Amino acid sequence: MPLLLLRQAAASSSSSGQSRIDPTKDQRTTIIVACVYAVAIIILWNIPILNYILYPFKLLTVGFHEFSHAAVGLCTGARIESITLEPNEGGATRMRGGIPWLTLPAGYLGSSVIGAALIACGFDERASKVASIVVGVFFLFTLWWARRDWLTWVLILAMIGLFVLFWLVASSVALRYFVLFIGVMNCLYSVWDICDDLIFRKVNESDASAFSKVVGGPPQFWGVIWLLISIAFFGAGIVVGILAFKTPVAQQQADNFLDVNLRRRFFLGYSRI
């Protein structure tokens, strides 16, 4: 009898483990949307004129890249002098001090971590709201470090406006898919940028080339390592989203988590007038 109970418990735990990783209907929809995002981004990326649609989001991911440099630099004792974004989708973080073998890879890997976290949060409306608040804090730090760069200010203020707008649309459903899109865009940009700079074009001046001077080895080697890590983060974001957020979408909306109800107040006030 005890042996039978042990077998039943083992079977139950095994089945529960399988069901936990098995996506729900809502999660399958989210995964499909993420895949559609990925395909659309890859297509738009390589089509002239249409690639301008992605331009502000490319700059946003560059901003996350530079913020990651600055954040790790700050944690390792560096003094952050400035962050700048360039119209040609480039960027630079100027700092004094810090630990180079940590700050140099932080741009690609940090932005991949942010992208993976946003992908995971894109599976849940409540998590998306929390993520948007955290991203807002990131924006404030970036604005402080980039206080003399007008392009960064315009970009971040526009993105804050989009986050607020999508928070208010369709009971924040739009916010969830927007957070998911930013996450997919961030991970794909990291992967593509690493390939473009180090594998395809073999650009001499890059984070990987500077990193190779510090620790040794060819830049392409470190680029491939960072590429694999970025891809792993992309997959990890989806897996974490599946495991952590099983609540059905209908229940998420019914919870009214951080629901400001601005639209309802506006229309009620308008009808009274």
pLDDT digits (tens, 9 = 90+) for 191-215: 777 777 666 665 556 787 888 888 8
pLDDT value for 209: 81
pLDDT value for 201: 60
Which of 60-64, 202-206, 260-264 is predicted with the least confidence, judged by mean pLDDT?
A: 260-264
If one compares 40 and 51, the residue with the highest pLDDT of the two is 40
> Among 44, 32, 50, 61, which residue's Cα sits nearest to residue 177?
32
Q: Which amino acid is at 204?
A: N
DSSP type of residue 51? G
Q: Does residue 139 have a pLDDT over 70?
A: yes
Question: pLDDT-derived band of residue 252, with 50, 70 and 90 as boundaries?
Answer: confident
Q: How many CB atoms lie within 10 A of CB 36?
A: 12
Q: Does residue 267 have a pLDDT over 60?
A: no
* CB-based contacts of 245, cutoff 8 Å, min separation 6: 27, 120, 123, 124, 127
> In the block, which residue shows the tokens 């890997």?
109
